[in-house]
Amino acid sequence: MRRFAISAALALALASGAVRAQSADEIERGRQLFMANGCYSCHGTVGQGGERSAAPRLAPGPYPFEAFKVLVRTPREAMPRFDPRHVSDAQLQLIHGYLASIAKGPVVADIAALRALMP
């Protein structure tokens, strides 16, 4: 039953998807919070996903904020729960903004040194 409630909450959050642009200062504060709260230790310093764990990729293109918040507040698997007493909604907004600011890397075909190795 709990899994259904989380899934329903995620579906509603994904449907809402409102995003607010953040300043460079807010993005940097979000990066600092991502590091200070230890998110990087499982999700990687730029949200690329864990190498030593099964932590999923968070960036580029994170879930909409409301879905992100549901996952942080009521995580599945081994992720610790971050309730509002530990990480406020405003801080989560900053962390989400940092993740949303991370640009997608180039594809292999756009990297000359790698393109030379392609058949």
Is pLDDT at 24 greater than 60 in this prediction? yes
pLDDT computed for residue 7 by the predictor: 54
Question: Which residues lie below 8 Å from residue 96, measured CB to CB, with a gap of 6+?
Answer: 30, 62, 65, 68, 69
Query: From CA 33, how far away is CA 45, in angstroms rounded?
Result: 11
Query: Which of 12 and 58 is assigned the larger pLDDT?
Result: 58
Q: Which of 26-30, 48-52, 70-74, 112-116 has the lowest mean pLDDT?
A: 48-52
Q: pTM for this structure?
A: 0.75
Query: From CA 44, how far away is CA 100, in angstroms rounded?
Result: 15
Question: Which residues lie below 8 Å from residue 99, measured CB to CB, with a gap of 6+?
Answer: 30, 34, 47, 58, 59, 60, 62, 68
Query: From CA 18, how far away is CA 23, in angstroms rounded?
Result: 17
CB of 83 within 8 A of CB of 103?
Answer: no
Average pLDDT, the chain: 85
What is the token pair recorded at 32? 């600092």
Domain 2-115 has CATH 3.40.50.10860: no
Q: Give the angle 53-55-61 at the CA atoms, nearest 5°.
A: 145
Q: How would residue 14 be classed by pLDDT, with cut points 50, 70 and 90?
A: very low
